[in-house]
Amino acid sequence: MHVYKMGNRTPELIICSFLVASLLVIHFFTDLLRASLAGSYALDVTLSQLIESQSSEYAWLLKLLVNCFGYSCVFVPGYLIYKYVQRTNYLERGNKTFLHTAINMCITGNSNYESVDVIHLASSSSSGAAMERDRPSKRTSSQEAVQLLWCFGGLMVSYLTWGVLQEKIMTQHYQNFAGESAKFKDSQFLVFANRMLAFFVALGYLQWQPATTRHRAPLYKYSYASFSNIMSAWFQYEALKFVNFPTQVLAKSCKIIPVMLMGKIMSKAKYESYEYVTALLISLGMIFFMTGSADSNKASGVTTLTGIFLLSMYMIFDSFTANWQGSLFKSYGMTSIQMMCGVNLFSTIFTGASLSMQGGFMDSLAFATEHPKFVFDMVILSICSAVGQLFIYHTIDVFGPVVFTIIMTVRQAVAIMLSCFIYQHSITMLGIFGVLIVFAAIFLRVYCNQQLRAKRKRAEANKPKTAV
């Protein structure tokens, strides 16, 4: 009997050994890297501190490599477990332990289970239906106006506050109790805090809503969107060290271009002629803005090229995230809140593992204990990020993507003006002309999209009905 039980638990022991062995190997190489940077083992110096002590112009590259090495703490054991489960048919066992249930949810989804223990899923309609919703509502005009003001105000307040605090945290100095000033440097800790709070907000929302549908997607599918999501967020934070916030906001307006390219690569998508025209206009406006808003304090060739590279990587990863999430919506029909919960779950795991490997937790917590104003800014930043995501999904669900795009475009314009007013960013007339071109192109795109949709509806309505 004891031999049977031990044999029955052998797969669980092997899977646990994969986790332990992978973490030990990664920890060993981390110590080697720390020794090579410090010259000798320094028990009181963390890896993140050693990275920050390197050349400030190229420290981001070393930090990026170390971050990816930290994410391997999740990818490597996950891959080994996936291959082991495939080769041994582990999931076909009749005896379902907690580990068996968790691995089944991660690899095959929830098709064989009646409930989900990690992510409680709730929704009465798919996100695809929400994205196509432009039909009239049963609410009165006054109720619709109140709802629109509520969505507009929520998006404006949450993301304007988020944008201002984002730039403040990464570019301004904080004073400690002794009056000494210092800058916060670990952008990955901000990503971790934002994603962790967003996960708990989404999880609480799903717990609160009555469950009407069951989640079917394998949880590991979220890891790809999660990795690209945290990489885009990391590049976004790092870019603030090399370009000002208005330049970054205008770069976000250019996301249409990489999204179109990624859509053609991943989904073989086809686009209308006006979409190509507006994409070119946005690029032209961005060039004018970059030319007319050069910061004299950041004029070195290395910094300028670094900022452009970081913004480009941000847009590439962000466009992959959007297209990958779109494919998941089509394949599994999950809701936007479910997507928010799953992606932020893996984002929290990835960034937490990387921070633990680098010792970034202790550095950031030490900075937080000495700079209470930073703690306040970070908490408000994370709350705005999480609440802003909920307002995004609610606005799309109630009013559709056209109204949402218009609101976010107005928010971007206000964000530029607010940042220039608070942080004294200078913009020449050429830069202002570039801003106008970009936003005019976005509004033209929205208008053409709405006209094309109306034309298709009229053509469908006038279509002669054939007798059966």
As given in the structure block, the two tokens for residue 422 are 């608070």
* Start-to-end Cα distance in the chain: 69
- Which residue in this structure is represented by tokens 């053609």? 264
Three-state DSSP at 40 gives coil
Burial (Cβ within 10 Å: 0-12, 13-18, ≥19) of residue 456: exposed
> Which residues, other chains included, contact 7 with Cβ-Cβ below 8 Å and sequence gap of 6+?
none
- Can you tell me the distance from the alpha carbon of 381 to that of 194, in angstroms, rounded to the nearest whole number? 7
Cα separation values, 459 from 185, 270, 273, 454, 455, Å: 56, 20, 20, 9, 6
At what angle are helices 336-358 and 301-332 packed, to 10 degrees? Answer: 140
Print pLDDT tens along the chain (468 aa). 444 454 567 888 888 888 888 878 877 877 787 777 766 545 566 676 677 676 666 778 888 888 888 888 888 888 888 888 888 888 887 667 788 888 888 888 764 444 434 444 333 333 333 333 344 445 666 777 788 889 888 888 888 888 778 878 878 889 888 888 888 877 778 888 888 999 998 888 888 875 566 777 899 999 998 999 888 878 887 887 787 766 766 676 666 677 777 777 876 777 788 888 887 887 787 777 766 655 555 545 444 678 888 888 888 888 888 788 878 877 887 887 888 888 899 989 998 888 888 777 777 888 888 888 898 989 998 898 888 888 887 777 777 665 676 677 667 667 766 767 776 767 778 878 887 887 788 788 778 877 887 888 888 888 765 544
Pick from 192, 212, 177: nearest CA to 48: 192
pTM given for the model:
0.71
Q: Identity (one letter) of the amino acid at 408? A: M
Say how many C-beta atoms besides its own lie within 10 A of residue 197's C-beta.
20
- Can you tell me the distance from the alpha carbon of 217 to that of 221, in angstroms, rounded to the nearest whole number? 7
